[in-house]
Amino acid sequence: MLKHWLMAIRPKTLSASICPVLIGTAMAFGDGPYHLPTAILCLLGALSIQIGTNLANDYFDFKNGADNNERIGPTRVTQAGLISPKAMIIATAIAFSVSAIICYLLVLRGGWPIATIGIFSILSGLLYTAGPKPLGYMGLGDIFVFVFFGPVAVAGTYYVQTFEINLAVIAAGIAPGLIATAILAINNLRDIDSDRKSGKNTLAVRFGRSFAISEYLFCILAASLMPVLIYTITDDHVQILVAVITCLIAIPTIKTVASKIDGPSLNKALASTGQLLLIYSILFSIGWIWKL
């Protein structure tokens, strides 16, 4: 049973919530007034929101028919009958309830800006596949993933620790947002045929495989070059430029995305892109903190 719940949580995708918190905290630490207990709450809050989103996706994609026997991605436990729909709904409610409690604790420190971020993050996670017009079924998933796993998460993490915000912090959120969007692009590329049949109109379905591949390439390359822009803005923290090598590390995965259409290859590329996000975030964070 534990194995099935881990499958539903999708641990390989959780770097999307961990990494922006890591970057925001590293920038707060490098700038001075970081707050470790708050950073931990930010991490737990981000993880609980993403886990709740993943669980909701598992249930609602099954309910909406997007997950079926033709699926070539990793097993979805509700569709496979490994976890009952009722149990999945309860788990989703628990995950988002935990998110709400953590967000409340963060609001006590950060006030209404954090309340706004928390409310919209939870709603976006739930409405991604739920409701009469799910965001992911209208091709809006990429935008929401970029915004909430990127600038919003990094800037929110930084702000609630320092009570300040600046252009460099907002710009720093663009890279993790782009790489998280690249993860979604692979997911949508892999599922393009089954999504089209079920009426899930992702950007890959709307504009085709070539668009999804181009989207992935743009996201990885643009993210890798963001340290150059941030260094230009700050004229400081030159060590963050080491994160640019992410684009070189990404070459094998880019080749896979551009040339393969089978599920196992794209599943591997998805996991590798999650690792790229983690590598980028660690390199950037160390570069920001470490000063010569």
**pLDDT for 66 beyond 70:** no
CATH topology of domain 2-289: Farnesyl Diphosphate Synthase (1.10.600)
pLDDT given for residue 129 in this prediction: 82
Give one word for 67, left, alpha or beta, with left for phi > 0 and alpha for psi -120 to 50: beta
Tokens 């049973």 sit on residue: 1
Q: 183-222: per-residue pLDDT in tens?
A: 999 999 998 988 888 788 999 999 999 999 999 999 999 9
Overall average pLDDT of the 275-283 stretch: 97
| DSSP state string for 82-151 | SS-HHHHHHHHHHHHHHHHHHHHHHHHHH-HHHHHHHHHHHHHHHHTT-SSS-GGGGT-HHHHHHHHTTH
- pLDDT of 68 strictly over 80: no
Residue whose structure tokens are 């809006």: 140
Distance, C-alpha 176 to centroid of its chain: 8
Given a cut of 60, whether residue 292 has pLDDT beyond it is: no
Residue-wise pLDDT tens digits, 218-272: 999 999 999 999 999 998 899 999 999 999 999 999 999 999 988 889 999 999 9
For residues 122 and 45, the answer to whether their CB atoms sit within 8 Å is: no
2-6 mean pLDDT: 86
> Are 156 and 118 spatial neighbours (Cβ–Cβ below 8 Å)?
no
Whole-number pLDDT of residue 126: 86
pLDDT at site 76: 79
> Between residues 292 and 10, which one has the greater pLDDT?
10
Q: Which residues contact 156 (CB under 8 A, 6 or more apart)?
A: 24, 42, 110, 113, 114, 117
Alpha-carbon distance values, 288 to 29, 150, 220 (Å):
9, 17, 20
Q: Is residue 71 pLDDT above 70, yes or no? A: no
